[in-house]
Amino acid sequence: MLIKTATEIPTREITDESLYLKRRKFLMGAASAAGAALLPGIGHGATQDAYRQLPDVRPGPFGTDEQPTSFEDASSYNNFYEFGTGKSDPERRAGSLRTDPWTLKVGGEVGKPGVIGLESLIAPHQLEERVYRMRCVEAWSMVIPWVGIPLGDLLTRFEPTSKAKYVSFQTLFDPSQMPGQRRNVLDWPYVEGLRIDEAMHPLTILAVGMYGRVLPNQNGAPLRLVVPWKYGFKGIKSIVSIRLVEKEPPTSWNLSAPHEYGFYANVNPEVDHPRWSQKRERRIGEFFKRKTLPFNGYAEQVAHLYQDMDLRANY
């Protein structure tokens, strides 16, 4: 399959943050259904109140006290190329995604491989809400209250072996539901990966909701990865498969444009993207830019994972 590099994607399809404030008045609130098991079907332009409240959510052990981005902005300004390359495409098109039933396959270097339904995945855990800073590689950011479970807790249930050095993730591949997959913008299905210590880190979660409610389709329903110290493209959405592997797995954006997107994707303001600076960012909903923080402000928790690495070479 032909893989388009980032430089081949038309400029009009890549974030132009100077247009964002003008564009917002044309964007509507969260648009899609998140599956009958979690949420009744809703129409285009739904607000946060249209999404079912998740029960028994407790505050998580990590987070920030920064003002969250509005739900309307967080659910209508997205990167989700399975539904299009424009920032408003996912909100408009993700209603075609069916999230019930949904299963997750876990295999590879584990003692107990298996397939688990979404409800069974969540059942042993109390859902946690964590307000995380999220930074996109295109120099925009948000603060989102995610609801989910620690990824490490899930992986432990499948008994990783000593050969499990990395964790590989795969998104659903179904062009009938995900119209963006009918175009060769990326080599589908979308894949991502983490080192096992990154995956087991307590900051890393699998999210099933946000703002205390079920996760909208355009934000990665019904199951997405959240790694707050990394750029947003690491947060793979609509996950159907997790494999624990011995060697570094391929990742979609690194395959597409390796000179621009590395495996690690740690937020590092000292390493510019080839086409723009990463030193400053614009928080969605704000006018002025702010300074980008190393590891997106989570250096105290995660910098030790990379203490012997050259973070310019391992970008």
pTM: 0.86
Quote the DSSP letter at residue 67.
Answer: P
Task: Please indicate, yes or no, if residue 221 is contained in any of the structural domains.
Answer: yes
- pLDDT(46) > 90: no
Q: How many domains does the chain have?
A: 1
Q: If pLDDT is split at 50, 70 and 90, which confidence band does 49 have?
A: confident
User: Does residue 3 belong to any structural domain of this protein?
Assistant: no
Has residue 215 been placed in a domain? Answer: yes
Does any domain span residue 312? no
Residue 296 domain boundaries: 9-306
Which region, left, alpha or beta, applies to residue 101 given φ > 0 means left and ψ of -120 to 50 means alpha? beta
- Which of 4, 243, 256 lies closest to 137, judged by CA? 256
Confidence of residue 1 (pLDDT cuts 50, 70, 90): very low
Does 4 reside within a domain? no
Residues 123-135: tens digit of each pLDDT? 889 999 999 999 9
Answer whether the bond into residue 55 is a cis peptide, omega within 30°.
no
In a domain, 139, yes or no: yes
pLDDT category of residue 24 using cuts at 50, 70 and 90: very low
Give the H/E segment covering residue 118.
helix 118-122
What pLDDT does residue 128 have? 97
CATH number of residue 148's parent domain: 3.90.420.10
Is the previous residue joined to 222 through a cis bond, with omega within 30 degrees of 0?
yes
